[in-house]
Amino acid sequence: MRTNLTQSEITSYRENGFVVIEDFLTADELARWREAVDEAVAQRGRRKLVRQESKDGWEDRDDNSFVENIFVQRINLWMDNDKMRQLMFNPELGKMAADLAGVDGIRIWHDQALFKPPWGNPTAWHLDNPYWSFYSRNAISIWVALDDSTLENGCLYFMPGTHKSATYDNVPIGENIGDLFTVYEDWADKPTVAAPMKAGSCSFHNGLIAHGAGANMTPGWRRAMTCAYMPDGSTFNGTQNVLPNAYFKELTKGDVIDNDKYVPLIYPHD
């Protein structure tokens, strides 16, 4: 794993809100990631989340709806698969996220496999952090390409710099890919950048950057493994997302979200 970041990668991340790290995994590591993710996704069956007592609507609807055909989404695989736990708890990943974000400590908010199926619908432009139960301008995600992700099969797209002016307004990932720009009208004519990646490369993106992914115009899968990170010390904002209801009910707005059982501190690691 190429975990050493150059100063120019850090500068580019801070300026643009994303950075692509080519050849992040070696061929052997890529094989291990693919095996672990495929196993964990298969074991999970049709459940998006481990615990169904969390927010409603987390079961795959299998109804051929537009939204269900954007991607197969399986969240927090670290919780029910040992191989995924080992991959996701790697403190070197946490250190990369912390160094890019410019924070001292990193917790896993949630991991998620995102497999865009053959002929999968595009992922509408959106921001990530406003969906989550904490607000932070330093939230960050890694997105690891498990297959070559291309202009043809639904690679990521970013709108550079938007993390700087984003508020916490957002849209759901729905059918109209440009809905975000009815909320952020000032962004409507900004340039976008495609981020195709070879399998084993990865990107990091800020939780407030505008991003999405294209349609899959091919008969193959576009598999990705991602993890969203929460800066240590982040506080509860009242929004439910992936926290188990029992923990969610214990929290009051402003409380630090620091229960290692659900949001493990992966860096610094003791």
Ligand X SMILES: O=C(O)CCC(=O)C(=O)O
71 binds, among ligand X, Fe ion, none (CB under 5 to 8 A by kind): ligand X
Can you tell me the distance from the alpha carbon of 106 to that of 183, in angstroms, rounded to the nearest whole number? 30
Total residues at interface with ligand X (CB under 6 A): 11
Q: Residue 116 binds which entry of ligand X, Fe ion, none, with Cβ cut-offs from 5 to 8 Å by kind? A: ligand X
Least distance to ligand X, CB of residue 125, Å: 9
143 contact choice in ligand X, Fe ion, none (CB below 5 to 8 Å, kind-dependent): ligand X
Residue 229 or residue 251: which is nearer to ligand X going by CB? 229
153 binds ligand X (CB under 6 A): no
Q: Which of residues 71-130 bind ligand X (CB under 6 A)?
A: 71, 114, 116, 123, 128
Query: Token digits for 142?
Result: 């890694």
Contacts of 265 (CB under 8 A, 6+ apart): 105, 106, 107, 232, 258
Q: Judged by CB, which is closer to Fe ion: 111, or 128?
A: 128
224 binds, among Fe ion, ligand X, none (CB under 5 to 8 A by kind): ligand X
Q: How far is the CB of 249 from ligand X (least distance, A)?
A: 27
Exposed, middle or buried: residue 32 (CB in 10 Å: 0-12, 13-18, 19+)?
A: middle
User: What mask, x for binding ligand X by CB under 6 A, covers residues 175 to 214?
Assistant: ------------------------------------x-x-
- Which residues, numbered 131-150, are part of the site for ligand X (CB under 6 A)? 141, 143
Q: What is the dihedral of CA 82, 86, 89, 94, to 10 degrees?
A: -150
Measure the CA–CA gap between 180 and 149, rounded to whole angstroms.
Answer: 23
Residues in the chain: 270
Contact between 93 and 100 under an 8 Å Cβ cutoff? The reply is: no
Which positions ≥6 away from 243 have C-beta within 8 Å? 54, 133, 251, 257, 262
What is the distance between the alpha carbons of residues 36 and 221, in angstroms, rounded to a whole number? 17
**Segment 97-136, which members bind Fe ion (CB under 5 A)?**
128
Binding residues for ligand X, per CB under 6 A?
71, 114, 116, 123, 128, 141, 143, 211, 213, 224, 226
